[in-house]
């Protein structure tokens, strides 16, 4: 059975390098839509479901060299499948708006292009196990020079990818730019500079929703 057949819901994802402010903006948008009376599910990756949260700890904690890029792709895909089955698909099926802090585009950039030439592997597994893209993806674009101090300030043990260093973050940023160019109908590149309110307004303009 196709859980999403005939759905009236919307699936929005937020992407960006570590410290870009995407999590803050995802929370802000979710709170605004909920205050407007909408059924909204705010979730995250890796994680968003009990099994996926257990896999999250394997991915975001520990030594940077703990896993190869290929192993990471398998772990992320397993977490995403659990997340999809238990959280995202049921919410969309009932007509909710799902706002997800990262989705498959992160795997495409982090593992598929930045840590190796593995984009085809990511897409093949995604098509096989998930087969759905967000309706719209907002990439919060900010320079590593601005993002790295932010990420360092909020570290709480989930800093495995930040530990790869600023050059890795610069490659990630380029990967997200390339992604935006490759999927212009779905992906919106949002200037992440300025205040939270200024960034929120840019997101509102991109999505066509009023956000204060």
* Alpha carbon distance 153, 123 (integer Å): 33
- In this structure, is residue 98 part of a structural domain? yes
190: pLDDT strictly greater than 90: yes
Average pLDDT over residues 16-30: 95
Contacts of 178 (CB under 8 A, 6+ apart): 113
- Token duo for residue 112: 């598929």
pTM of the model: 0.90
Residue 142 maps to which CATH number?
3.40.50.300
**174 — pLDDT class (breaks 50, 70, 90):** very high
**Residue range of the domain that includes 135:** 10-204
Q: Is 151 exposed, middle or buried (0-12, 13-18, 19+ CB in 10 A)?
A: middle
- In this structure, is residue 212 part of a structural domain? no
**2 — pLDDT class (breaks 50, 70, 90):** very low
- In this structure, is residue 209 part of a structural domain? no
- In this structure, is residue 5 part of a structural domain? no
In whole numbers, what is the pLDDT of the chain averaged over residues? Answer: 90
- In this structure, is residue 54 part of a structural domain? yes
Domain count, the chain: 1
* Alpha carbon distance 180, 34 (integer Å): 28
pLDDT at 183: 96
Q: What is the pLDDT of residues 81-115, one digit of tens each?
A: 999 999 999 999 999 999 999 999 999 998 988 88
- In this structure, is residue 153 part of a structural domain? yes
- In this structure, is residue 210 part of a structural domain? no
- In this structure, is residue 68 part of a structural domain? yes
């Amino acid at each position: 059975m196709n859980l999403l057949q005939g759905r009236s819901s919307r699936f929005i994802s937020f992407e960006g390098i570590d410290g870009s402010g995407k999590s803050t903006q995802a929370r802000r948008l979710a709170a605004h839509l909920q205050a407007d009376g909408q059924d909204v599910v705010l979730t995250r990756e890796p994680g968003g479901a009990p099994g996926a949260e257990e896999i999250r700890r394997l991915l975001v904690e520990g030594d940077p060299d703990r896993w190869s890029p290929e192993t990471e792709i398998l772990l992320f895909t397993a977490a995403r499948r659990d997340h999809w089955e238990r959280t995202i698909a049921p919410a969309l099926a009932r007509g909710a708006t799902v706002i997800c802090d990262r989705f498959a585009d992160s795997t495409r950039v982090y593992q598929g292009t930045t840590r190796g030439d593995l984009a085809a592997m990511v897409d093949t597994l995604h098509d096989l196990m998930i087969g759905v893209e967000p309706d719209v993806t907002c990439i919060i674009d900010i320079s590593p020079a601005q993002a790295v101090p932010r990420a360092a300030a909020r570290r709480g043990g989930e800093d495995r990818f930040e530990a790869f260093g600023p050059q890795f973050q610069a490659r990630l940023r380029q990967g997200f730019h390339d992604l935006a160019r490759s999927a212009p109908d779905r992906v919106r590149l949002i200037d992440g500079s300025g205040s939270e309110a200024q960034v929120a307004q840019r997101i509102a303009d991109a999505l066509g929703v009023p956000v204060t």
